[in-house]
Structure 1
Amino acid sequence: MKLLLPVDGSEFSLEAVRFAIRLVADGLRADVVLANVQEPANLYELIVAHNPEVIEQVSADAGMHALRSAQALLEAAGIAYESEVAQGDPAHTIVDIVERFGCQMVIMGARGQSGLRRALMGSVSNEVLHACPVPVLIAQPQSPPEVEPQE
Structure 2
Amino acid sequence: MKILLPVDGSELSLWAVRHAIALARSGLQAHFVLANVQEPPTLYEVVTAHDAEVLEGMAASAGRHALEAAETLLREAGLPYDLDVVSGAPAQAIIDLTETHGCQAIVMGARGIGTLRAGLFGSVSRAVLDHSPVPVTIVKPPEADTATDTAGDASDEAAGS
User: Does 2:100 correspond to 1:81?
Assistant: no
- The Cα of 1:120 is off from its aligned counterpart by 3.3
Quote the Cα distance in structure 1 between the aligned partners of 2:116 and 2:60: 22
- The Cα of 1:118 is off from its aligned counterpart by 4.3
* Secondary structure, counterpart of 2:28 in structure 1: coil
> Counterpart in 2 of 1:144?
145
**1:80-136 Cα distance to aligned partner (Å, 9 max, x none):** 1000000000000100000111101100000247x9984533100000001100000
Counterpart AA for 2:33: V
User: Relative contact order: is structure 1 or structure 2 higher (C-alpha 8 Å, sep ≥ 6)?
Assistant: 1
* Number of equivalences: 150
Change (3 A) 1:94 1:48: same
Gaps of 5+ in 2: none
* Runs of 4+ more than 4 Å apart: 115-119, 145-151
> Counterpart in 1 of 2:52?
52
Gaps of 5+ in 1: none
Quote the Cα distance in structure 1 between the aligned partners of 2:91 and 2:74: 23
> Counterpart in 2 of 1:107?
107
Quote the Cα distance in structure 1 between the aligned partners of 2:118 and 2:21: 27
- Percent same amino acid at aligned positions? 53
Counterpart AA for 1:144: D
> Counterpart in 1 of 2:6?
6
Quote the Cα distance in structure 1 between the aligned partners of 2:117 and 2:89: 11
Q: Which has the higher helix share?
A: 2
Question: TM-score, normalised to structure 2's length?
Answer: 0.86
Quote the Cα distance in structure 1 between the aligned partners of 2:116 and 2:107: 22
Aligned Cα root-mean-square deviation (Å):
2.1
**Greater Rg, structure 1 or structure 2?**
2
**1:67-91 Cα distance to aligned partner (Å, 9 max, x none):** 0000000011111100000000000
**1:8-55 Cα distance to aligned partner (Å, 9 max, x none):** 000100000000000001111101000000000001111111111110
> Counterpart in 2 of 1:25?
25
For the Cα contact (< 8 Å) 1:117–1:123, is it kept in 2? Answer: no
User: Does 2:65 correspond to 1:61?
Assistant: no
Change (3 A) 1:93 1:13: same
Counterpart AA for 2:18: R
Q: Tell which deviates more after alignment, 137-146 or 25-34.
A: 137-146
